[in-house]
Amino acid sequence: MSGVSLSLAGTNALVTGASSGLGPFIARKLDEAGARVAIHYHQNRAGAEALAMDLNNPAEVIQADLGDLDQVSQLFHSASDKLGTISILVNCAAAESQLVSDLSELDPDRWAATQRTNVDAPLVLIKLFAAQGKPGSIINISSIEGSRPAPGHGHYSTSKAALEMLTKSAALEFGPDNIRVNAIAPGLIDREGIEEGWPEGVKAWKASAPLGRLVNPEDIASTALFLASDFSASISGTVITVDCGLSIKPGW
């Protein structure tokens, strides 16, 4: 297909939660394709600055607490002031998902904080992105828990389900402006120390996933690059599941 490319040369991207977890993988992948990246962090300034030094293109490092919606707005305005029009937005940051609590015992403040960071903050950023009046791609990082709840994770699963519906609603509303909105739903991601720290969980996952392994974070980053590029020009309102096939397993 003539003119279709994975190159992001000349584009500007904002990646939230870019200092740790999946964020650095996504930021690096966009950078490798030619995008300039605004690296958001909350507390891990050292990680954000180390990432910026590691990128090929000049990057901006911006701090914000996504639990404070005023700071969320300031984050976007700061990124656009420093880089110019933001044509790629990756909502990667998320409230801590490892808190395990039954809904019957969940602290209301924890519930509210999770929804604020995982749903309200992306909504603010999506609205500001659309207000630029320019075409572009928005990528929300969800989770397979958005459609397959896990015990003790009701607060997190609910937020990811809401994020996926927000993805589809935003794609519907902003499609006429040539703004594409998609989500990625990762499964259990391979990370340093996970097998030592949670051996029973990793063993169960590998036994259940048809591919028999954890999800490589590079594969999430590659999916984000695909969704940011011309190769996905006709894809919007979609949730791409990247879980080594786990979600196709029968539940009975």
What are the catalytic residues?
Answer: 156
Give SS3 for 12: strand
* CA–CA separation, 124 and 180 (whole Å): 16
C-beta separation of 184 from 224 below 8 A: yes
Left if phi > 0, otherwise alpha if psi is -120 to 50, otherwise beta: which for 133? left
Intra-chain end-to-end CA distance of the chain, in Å: 44
Which DSSP helix (H) or strand (E) runs through 28?
Answer: helix 23-32
C-beta separation of 154 from 104 below 8 A: no
Sign of the CA dihedral running 44, 45, 50, 52 = positive
What value, to the nearest 5°, has the Cα angle with vertex 231 and ends 243 and 122? 60
DSSP state letter for 40: E
